Amino acid sequence: MKKNKISKNWINRQRKDIYVRQSKIEGFRSRAAYKIKEIDEKFKIFKQVNSLIDLGAAPGSWSQYATTKVKSEKVISIDLINFEKIKNSHQIIGDFTDEQSKEEIKKYFGTKIDLVISDMAVNTIGNKNVDSIVTGELCLEAMNFAIEILQPKGKFLSKIFMGSSFNEIVSRAKKHFKEVRVFKPLASRKNSKETFIICKFLRIT
Ligand SMILES: C[S@@+](CC[C@H](N)C(=O)[O-])C[C@H]1O[C@@H](n2cnc3c(N)ncnc32)[C@H](O)[C@@H]1O
């Protein structure tokens, strides 16, 4: 399909999408807000949460939602790309996988935290299999970091793709967390391979 036809289709799809329209009315920066809202309503991920990090935060709708749920200012939003600052959140522009970023995050919190959320995904290169492999690696990296930084009752939420790394991610999650669920919110497009993993209560080894 030609590039201008793809963008026309994208514009038409955006116009018809109820979540896009709703996000404009409610002031969210993207329709992704309704994914985390739905996950939260079902799994209560923000219950008793005072500190959290949002990995892959730009343009910022997950962080916008998160800061309405967490009253302390112990929220970090990190992304590779620059994005407009979010009220009540500490912003880091950088690659989450860099040791320097991880050290900055640990230093900012100074202690274990309650929640790690990750909507990280690679900028699509058009090859869904490659995208799903790289996004799977990002999810594993986020999970490793969550295991390191979460307090024992901490929670981890991450985007994953139904692809070759799916089983590995779920079994690794089950090894490290007592409760593991996979859930695709209605706001996640049906034709997308995206789904979400919700993990609660670290297994202390
Ligand atoms: C789907 S978007 C996130 C949307 C966001 N949850 C929201 O609600 O606005 C995925 C983001 O992950 C970011 N990302 C990908 N790899 C990353 C990395 N290594 N470190 C930090 N951010 C990363 C991308 O730059 C992109 O902005």
State pLDDT tens for residues 99-152.
999 999 999 999 999 999 999 998 766 666 666 778 889 999 999 999 999 999
In this structure, is residue 157 part of a structural domain? Answer: yes
Domain count, the chain: 1
In this structure, is residue 15 part of a structural domain? Answer: no
Question: What pLDDT is stored for residue 8 in this prediction?
Answer: 67
Helical (H) or strand (E) element with 102: helix 99-109
In this structure, is residue 25 part of a structural domain? Answer: no
Tokens representing 85 are: 């600052």
Distance CA 153, CA 69 (A): 18
Instruction: Calculate the dihedral angle through the C-alpha atoms of 97, 112, 63, 92, rounding to the nearest 10 degrees.
Output: -40
Q: Nearest 5 degrees, angle CA 148-CA 130-CA 161?
A: 55
Bridge partner list, 132: none
Asked if residue 20 has its Cβ within 6 Å of ligand 1, the reply is: no
In this structure, is residue 70 part of a structural domain? Answer: yes
Residue 15's pLDDT band (boundaries 50, 70, 90)? low
In this structure, is residue 20 part of a structural domain? Answer: no
Q: What is the CATH number of the domain that holds 195?
A: 3.40.50.150
Domain that holds residue 185: 30-202
pLDDT exceeds cutoff 70 at 26: yes
Question: What pLDDT is stored for residue 167 in this prediction?
Answer: 94
pLDDT exceeds cutoff 90 at 2: no
Question: What pLDDT is stored for residue 12 in this prediction?
Answer: 66
Active site residues: 159
What would the pLDDT profile of 138-161 be if each residue is shown by its tens digit?
A: 999 999 999 999 999 999 999 998
- The CA 2 to ligand 1 mean position distance, Å, reads 26
In this structure, is residue 107 part of a structural domain? Answer: yes
Which of 120, 140, 159 has the most ligand 1 atoms within 8 A of CB, as the residue to mutate?
A: 120
In this structure, is residue 150 part of a structural domain? Answer: yes
In this structure, is residue 51 part of a structural domain? Answer: yes
Which class for 120: exposed (0-12), middle (13-18), buried (19 or more C-beta within 10 A)? buried
Which of 79, 140, 195 has the most ligand 1 atoms within 8 A of CB, as the residue to mutate?
A: 79
Mean pLDDT (whole number) for 164-193: 95
Q: Nearest 5 degrees, angle CA 119-CA 162-CA 23?
A: 40
- The CA 161 to ligand 1 mean position distance, Å, reads 14
What would the pLDDT profile of 36-82 be if each residue is shown by its tens digit?
A: 999 999 999 999 999 999 999 999 999 999 999 997 769 999 999 99
The minimum-distance atom of ligand 1 relative to the CA of 96 is 20
pTM, to two decimals: 0.92
- The CA 178 to ligand 1 mean position distance, Å, reads 27
Asked if residue 81 has its Cβ within 6 Å of ligand 1, the reply is: yes
The residue type at 124:
T
